[in-house]
């Protein structure tokens, strides 16, 4: 299987301030996508941050992630909007992120 990454995802993203639904479901999040196919998913809550290291690839408008310590692929629909936001749809939950770098 060929690993692919969408170059538009590269860099650091954070939860959009107005995204109350995403924040309620996932908390305050930053995501750092790297060129070598890693995604550091950080949940910021109070004085403790939880970091999850994932491998990722993309196929069309689908973000496919896999956590090496508990292998299982997750598929999330994504879109980069005209105003540069990252929109994710995972199941019934929609979340929005803005560039943080």
Extents of the domains making up the chain: 7-99
pLDDT at 3: 60
Q: Which residues of 71-81 are buried (b: 16+ CB within 10 A; e: fewer)?
A: eeeeebebeee
Query: DSSP secondary-structure letter at 7?
Result: G
CATH class for domain 7-99? Answer: mainly beta
The closest of 100, 95, 65 to 81, measured between CA atoms, is: 95
Express each pLDDT in 18-75 by its tens digit: 999 989 988 899 999 999 999 999 999 878 899 999 999 999 999 999 998 888 999 9
The predicted model scores a pTM of 0.90
């Amino acid at each position: 299987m060929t690993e692919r990454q969408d170059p538009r995802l590269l860099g650091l993203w954070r939860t959009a301030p107005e995204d109350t639904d995403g924040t309620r479901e996932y908390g305050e999040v930053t995501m750092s996508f790297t060129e070598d196919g890693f995604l550091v998913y950080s949940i910021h809550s109070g004085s403790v941050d939880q970091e999850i290291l994932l491998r990722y690839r993309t196929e069309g408008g689908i973000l496919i992630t896999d956590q090496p310590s508990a292998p299982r692929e997750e598929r999330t629909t994504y879109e980069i909007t005209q105003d540069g936001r990252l929109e994710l749809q995972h199941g019934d939950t929609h979340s929005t992120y803005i560039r943080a770098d």
